Amino acid sequence: MNIEEFQKEQKKENFIREYNLIQDDLCYYDNISKTLKGSQITKAKAFNRNKCIQYQGNGMFICKPIKDYNSSVYSMKKEFKEWTCNCQWFMKNRITCSHLQALFLFFKIKAMSNDLTNTCIVQ
């Protein structure tokens, strides 16, 4: 394995480590109905199917809304080695929200598809 392959493997491991932060079936805050709803993972998958997660540069990711499902764009970044989101649920509870679940799932998808372009590792 040459140095480039080694670095690629390291990146892949990092992505998978982020993915493993996913927790099962937490509920999420729905901005439209203003209530807590079903499964974060289901919502996280929907965000990924709709390609809502995008890298903005400087370690910042956004989660764009899904039409007829939610309405806000949220930003996520790593602060003091913890991922944070600016949504109401995360700000209030400081626990993983559906947007962060979607981001970790995004990392997993990127790692599995070996497509590490347009993504970044935030130290």
Choosing from 22, 87, 102, 111, the residue that interacts with Zn ion (CB under 5 A) is: 87
**Binds Zn ion by CB under 5 A, chosen from 44, 97, 102, 103:** 97
Sign of CA dihedral 55, 23, 93, 30: positive
Question: Is residue 103 part of the contact set for Zn ion (CB under 5 A)?
Answer: no
Beta carbon nearer to Zn ion, 35 or 114 = 35
Dihedral angle, C-alpha 5, 17, 49, 101, nearest 10 °:
-160
Q: Is 105 in the site for Zn ion (CB under 5 A)?
A: no
Binding residue for Zn ion, selected from 28, 47, 83, 90, defined by CB under 5 A: 90
Q: Contact positions toward Zn ion, by CB under 5 A?
A: 74, 85, 87, 90, 97, 99
